[in-house]
Structure 1
Amino acid sequence: MFAEMSTTAVVVTLVAAFMAGFSGVSVLARAAFVVEPLAAYGVPRAWWNRLGAAKVAGAVGLLAGFFLPVVGTLAATGLVLYFTGAVITVLRARSYGHVAFPLMYMAPAVAVLALV
């Protein structure tokens, strides 16, 4: 639990959970700054709810990791894989200027794995 984690690991996990949760809720709420690029990248609208739910589930999993560490590790791994797919999607769409965004969301999940 918290007592076994360093302060850095707790803070990074909370940041990663917030960022993934924010991103997921933004997709589910159809925030224009998220869904307009998804449409431009060619991501089918039928996938959007599942993609948003996956990010929210990753955020919840990171928080659950405070109590069940294996769940947090699996959630962080899933988020890294998710955002790797997002990077590939952006690159395939040739939107090179947007690659920084999925990388920005992936970085805290990678950091969580490095600190576990």
Structure 2
Amino acid sequence: MSSVLLITTVVCAAANVFIAVADYARAPFVMANSAEVRLPPAAVPYLATLKLAGAAGLVAGLAGLHGLGLAAGVGLVAFFVGAVLAHVRARVFHNIAFPGTYLLLAVASTGFFAGEL
């Protein structure tokens, strides 16, 4: 089970780097999604920074700073709970699987680091 959680943590970090880069680049799919959930365009880079910080924390955790990895996992869980709630509040369900998948990856990453401490 630990190797599955390790792989999931690596995937979570990579996925968050990918989406943060897309956020910074203001990719059309990012801007369309943020408009649908009524997120101001000016907020997108700030949220990208949080995702990137979470990914960096997971990588630091994998490098041996397990407490930082755990904190990053918890932060990403909170972030993506907020993203799922934003979709529910705006009644945007056609793409709720994306923040839901990121949330599940963050939960698994948090579980990995919780087991390492």
Q: Which amino acid counterpart does residue 38 of structure 1 have in structure 2?
A: S
C-alpha RMSD of matched pairs (Å): 1.2
Q: Which amino acid counterpart does residue 74 of structure 1 have in structure 2?
A: A
Select which of 44, 47, 53 maps to 1:48. 44
* 2:74 corresponds to 1:72: no
**2: CA distance, partners of 1:74 / 1:35:** 28
Gaps of 5+ in 2: none
* 2:110 corresponds to 1:113: yes
Deviation at 1:10, TM superposition (A): 2.5
Q: Which amino acid counterpart does residue 82 of structure 1 have in structure 2?
A: F
Deviations along 1:24-52, one digit per CA (max 9) or x if unpaired, are 11111111111211012110112111001
How many pairs are equivalent?
A: 111
Q: Secondary structure of the equivalent of 2:91?
A: coil
Correspondences of 1:14-93 after superposition (within 5 Å): 14-66=10-62, 67-93=64-90
Kept in 1, the 8 Å contact 2:9–2:112? The answer is no
Q: Which amino acid counterpart does residue 56 of structure 2 have in structure 1?
A: V
**1: CA distance, partners of 2:80 / 2:37:** 14
**2: CA distance, partners of 1:8 / 1:94:** 33
**1: CA distance, partners of 2:34 / 2:91:** 13
TM-score relative to the length of structure 2: 0.88
Gaps of 5+ in 1: 1-5
| 4+ long deviations beyond 4 Å | none
TM-score relative to the length of structure 1: 0.89
